[in-house]
Amino acid sequence: MKEWWRGAIIYQIYPRSFNDANGDGIGDLTGITQKLDYISELGVDGIWISPFFRSPMKDFGYDVSDYCDIDPIFGTLEDFDILLEEAHRRDLKVLIDMVLSHTSDQHSWFQTSSQSKINPYADWYVWADPQPDGGPPNNWLSVFGGGAWAWEPKRCQYYLHNFLREQPDLNFHNPEVQDAVLNACRFWLERGVDGFRLDVCNYYFHDQELRDNPPLERARAHITGNPYNMQRHVYDRTRPENMAFLGRLRTLTDSFGETLLVGEISDDDPVGTMGKYTEGKALLHTAYSFGLLQPKMNAELVRDTVETFYKDAPNGWPSWSFSNHDVIRIATRWGGEEIPAKLSPALNAVLLSLPGTIFLYQGEELGLPESDLPFEDLRDPVGLTLYPDNKGRDGCRTPMPWVKDKKNAAFSDSDPWLPVGDKHFELAVDQQVKSPGSTLMQTQALISFWREHRDLRDRDFRFLPCPEGTIALARHHSDKAIILVANLTGDVQIFSFNFGCTLAREEITQGLSLTDDGEGCLVKCDPYSYGMLETNQFK
């Protein structure tokens, strides 16, 4: 079976903020269809669309009330079918976001389950009796702040919610629950999707004994306003029973041909769990974690994270991303308040060169910085709960800027659900397509380059010795190699290699000068510069 996803580059779309076709201020499926030419010209292999199912939108689609229907704000099933057909006509794969660990409290399953202890859905969610003093069953905490248990007076029991109280956790120890969510996946596979991104896929199972999580040593140094980070989450996630269910899901998707399962991993050992979940051919095809989505990023972290994965899981396959809808955009996380103008193309060059499947979040091809929104503009429950220590995820979810001089940057004719970032107008698509040196055009050229060298994307790699704050990454086979050099510092840096090389392509070279004597070469790199070297003398 052809494994199209190895070395693929997939573009993540957050539909609320991508393109609004009906003028209500919220992006929709038809809006995505209208921009498929833009995505196709970018050169990616496919798209991942964040949730568009029916939902009360307490967590903006990650609280599903019906897995097999489209929320009206995004369109209809017919709109999705058109999007799917048009994407496939452009040779774009389509992944959708399955949120299986929990549902909305408005889902019919929970509405029935919460009524009594005796009904057809009574055991479909995680219910537990109170402790003798009336308190919750254990010390588990919610990712979004506070305890992970909510009281339901009709049952005189608590239910588990790892996220919002409006997002009750499904009980995967019940085989009927597993069958139900697999049937939901089957619905979309039969419709023609090419696979799933699995939201928090290591949260499906919980410890049936409901044992307390132990404290995390030195946790207070990492609390960032949220006590969730003060525990070792050994009993409320990443349970061993999860492996068998992932095997069932893999069997289902494999029966539909060239499909893909991408797992999101949030764990105390994220890179190690990525490896365990992707080893062999019976679990996930690939997974990504928050390993490269850390608040503070540097070249050494990138190198250590990638090397650790392949050392610990040589038979696994990773996915890498620098940004998504849950974290501050990479330009701001890496560059700070005053982002160097050339930083974003260099970061994209690094990301696109990594060994694995690559996810590029909408707007990263433009080098968008994080939007700093005032409290009154916040919509994310995380920011509303943890402000000001944590401003939530709205800053990375503001609308795509398409046209600099149009109202709302041509995202919508109406006031959008979040304002367009003040600094984003100058970085609009229509401005960047005019400039070969822009982040957009550089990213497009980089994607084109790696598509031409796909034979190297599924082969060996090696990080080469280089100055602090820089990256030298060889993608090689035998003595042939393409070597990314990237200077992610504000100083001139010199790379020295013991083999001869040439510049691989002029249009994806910024700020490099090469001296080569046939046996070795020196590469002088200006601040925030990068380029690709080619050699047949790799040692």
* 361, 502: one domain: no
Q: What is the CATH number of the domain that holds 379?
A: 3.20.20.80
Q: Is the residue at 219 inside a domain?
A: no
Residue 518 has pLDDT above 80, yes or no: no
Residue type at 458 in one-letter notation: D
Assigned token pair, 147: 């305890």
| Catalytic (active site) residue 63 | no
Q: Is the residue at 391 inside a domain?
A: yes
* 310, 380: one domain: yes
C-alpha 115/C-alpha 101 separation (Å) is: 21
Assigned token pair, 474: 């060889």
* 485, 528: one domain: yes
| Helical spans, DSSP H, in 28-139 | 29-34, 36-42, 77-89, 108-113
User: Mean pLDDT, the chain, as a whole number?
Assistant: 95
Looking at 421, 450, 479, the residue that finishes a domain is 450
Q: Is the residue at 318 inside a domain?
A: yes
* 425, 360: one domain: yes
pLDDT tens digits, 468-515: 999 999 999 878 899 999 999 999 999 999 999 999 988 899 999 999
Say what the pLDDT of residue 114 is.
98
- With CA atoms as reference, report the closest residue to 352 among 253, 241, 457: 457
Say what the pLDDT of residue 356 is.
95
| Catalytic (active site) residue 491 | no
Q: What is the CATH number of the domain that holds 527?
A: 2.60.40.1180
For CA atoms 162, 165, 171, 177, the dihedral sign is negative
Say what the pLDDT of residue 224 is.
58
Q: Is the residue at 67 inside a domain?
A: yes
The single residue of 97, 199, 236, 365 carrying the catalytic annotation is 199
DSSP-assigned beta bridge partners for residue 10 = 46, 359
Q: Total domain count for the chain?
A: 2
380-384: list long-range contacts, CB under 8 Å, 24+ apart.
380/60, 381/58, 381/59, 381/144, 381/164, 382/144, 382/145
Q: Among 140-154, 216-230, 268-282, 419-433, which is the least confidently predicted range? A: 216-230
Q: Is the residue at 45 inside a domain?
A: yes
Q: Is the residue at 154 inside a domain?
A: no
Looking at 423, 450, 477, the residue that finishes a domain is 450
* 414, 469: one domain: no
C-alpha 453/C-alpha 475 separation (Å) is: 10
* 317, 432: one domain: yes
Range of the domain at 468: 460-535
Q: Among 58-67, 100-109, 126-135, 210-219, which is the least confidently predicted range? A: 210-219
Looking at 400, 430, 450, the residue that finishes a domain is 450
pLDDT tens digits, 85-98: 999 999 999 999 99
> What is the band of 1 on the pLDDT scale with cuts at 50, 70, 90?
very low
Q: Is the residue at 351 inside a domain?
A: yes
* 471, 445: one domain: no
Q: What is the DSSP string of 110-156?
A: HHHHTT-SSSTTTTSB-EEPPPTTS--SS--B-TTSSBSEEEETTTT
Say what the pLDDT of residue 298 is.
97
pLDDT tens digits, 298-331: 999 999 999 999 999 998 999 999 999 999 999 9
* 392, 464: one domain: no
Residue 174 has pLDDT above 80, yes or no: yes
* 414, 530: one domain: no
* 480, 346: one domain: no
Q: Among 225-229, 322-326, 366-370, which is the least confidently predicted range? A: 225-229
Q: Is the residue at 419 inside a domain?
A: yes
Say what the pLDDT of residue 89 is.
98
* 472, 426: one domain: no
* 363, 495: one domain: no
The single residue of 236, 264, 267, 380 carrying the catalytic annotation is 264
